[in-house]
Amino acid sequence: MYIGAIDIGGSKTIAGLVNENGELLIEKQIVTEKSDCAAHFNRCAALLLEAAAEYGAPAQALEGVGVSLPGMVDHSHSVLLLAPGAGWRDFPAAEFLREALGIRALWCENDVNNCARAELRFAGAPENFLWITVSTGIGGAVVADGRVLLGCNSLAGELGHCKVEFEHPLPCPCGSRGCLEAHASGAALSRRFARLLAEDPQAAALARERGASPDAAGCAALAQAGFSPARALFDRAGGYLGQALAPVVSMLNPERVYFGGGVARSLGLLLPRMRSALGARAAESCAGVEIRATGLGYEASLLGAAALFLEQAR
Ligand SMILES: [Zn+2]
């Protein structure tokens, strides 16, 4: 079975073919052009057809298509309600792509929800789990009894905009202050690390010596090398994450929490303080929830698009 999958991210867009076992057969990438939404969706359709042709599967061979979008999608998996990073709003994404591709069996969904679907369908996730993406921003998805929870306005899982800092709240891209995303995202870590490099000559010298980039990955490299000011930045972020997760795990009793996104590769640096915050704040019976990085890597959202198709086509 050939399933078309499209993952439109904040900076890049991937289209490819996936089979029913979640094996990625081919993928192609372009830059996400945010200035003209319809033009970009047309390019996505062309990219998918190009990938299919290159693999030797004509459009008629596709069973259907799933799409991951960087924003909120309505309950019918059709309309992109809002993609804040791209500035897109109320775009009939599914109908547009159905027309462009000539394929009716096509559905769209928020990318983080689709990551959770990929974990559920292709990677043996339990029936109750949370998925947290920590990259430039922070997003979340909730799977309860084997189903992705959408919430009344498709906003379930919006962990990134819970308030976690009240004494020195930083501005968040959402317009509010003190959000988890403003204090514990990859962008937040990068900002703090850049400041550390500017203010601490020892940090700057060590970063140069180790070729560490001035971002969250560079901060992780220094933290792993035992440089305590870099380690402290991860401790702080981990504490905020645990603080935000505590009421959620107490309420939902997930079996596992998966972390995805770039910062997930540094999960080991975030875990000690995350664990202690959970221990201090969550219900005792839920605080020991298993926490692990996803094994799906950067393809999680693309594979999740295929999982969405399989779920909807049932
Ligand atoms: Zn926010």
ipTM over cut 0.85:
yes
Tell me whether domains 2-121+298-312 and 127-294 share a fold.
yes
CA of 171 to the centre of ligand 1 (A): 8
CA of 178 to the centre of ligand 1 (A): 7
CA of 173 to the centre of ligand 1 (A): 6
CA of 85 to the centre of ligand 1 (A): 12
- Give the integer Cα–Cα distance in Å for 224 and 222: 5
**In this predicted model, what pLDDT tens digit does every residue of 188-219 receive, in sequence order?**
999 999 999 999 999 999 999 999 999 999 99
Q: Give yes or no for residue 173 having a pLDDT over 90.
A: no
- Give the integer Cα–Cα distance in Å for 67 and 269: 32
Q: Please tell me the total number of residues recorded for the chain in this structure.
A: 314
Q: Where are the alpha helices (DSSP H) in 105-227?
A: 111-122, 180-184, 186-199, 201-210, 216-224
CA of 84 to the centre of ligand 1 (A): 11
DSSP secondary structure letter of residue 128 = S
The string over 36-64, giving b where at least 16 C-beta atoms fall within 10 Å of a residue's C-beta and e elsewhere, is ebeebbebbbebbbebbeebebebeebbb
**In this predicted model, what pLDDT tens digit does every residue of 54-110 receive, in sequence order?**
999 988 899 999 999 999 999 999 999 999 889 999 999 999 999 999 999 999 999
CA of 163 to the centre of ligand 1 (A): 8
**79 three-class SS:** coil
H or E, element range at 74: none
CA of 139 to the centre of ligand 1 (A): 11
Torsion of CA 137, 171, 160, 4, to 10 degrees: -30
CA of 6 to the centre of ligand 1 (A): 27
Domain ranges of the chain: 2-121+298-312, 127-294
Note the CATH architecture for domain 127-294.
2-Layer Sandwich (3.30)
**Strand order of the sheet with strand 106-110?**
24-31, 12-18, 2-8, 62-69, 106-110
CA of 192 to the centre of ligand 1 (A): 17
Residue percentage of the chain with pLDDT more than 90: 93
CA of 244 to the centre of ligand 1 (A): 13
CA of 177 to the centre of ligand 1 (A): 6
Sign of the four-CA dihedral 263, 267, 268, 271: positive
CA of 112 to the centre of ligand 1 (A): 16
CA of 170 to the centre of ligand 1 (A): 10
CA of 188 to the centre of ligand 1 (A): 12
Q: Give yes or no for residue 129 having a pLDDT over 90.
A: yes
Q: List CB contacts of 89: < 8 A, sequence separation 6 or more.
A: 80, 81, 82, 83
What CATH fold (topology level) applies to the domain 2-121+298-312?
A: Nucleotidyltransferase; domain 5 (3.30.420)
- Give the integer Cα–Cα distance in Å for 217 and 4: 32
CA of 214 to the centre of ligand 1 (A): 24
Q: What share of the chain is helix, strand, coil (3-state, %, to 5)?
A: 45, 25, 30
CA of 138 to the centre of ligand 1 (A): 9
The per-residue pLDDT for 85 is: 85
**Strand order of the sheet with strand 147-148?**
147-148, 138-144, 129-134, 256-260, 290-293
Q: Give yes or no for residue 152 having a pLDDT over 90.
A: yes
- Give the integer Cα–Cα distance in Å for 41 and 177: 33
CA of 137 to the centre of ligand 1 (A): 9
CA of 195 to the centre of ligand 1 (A): 21
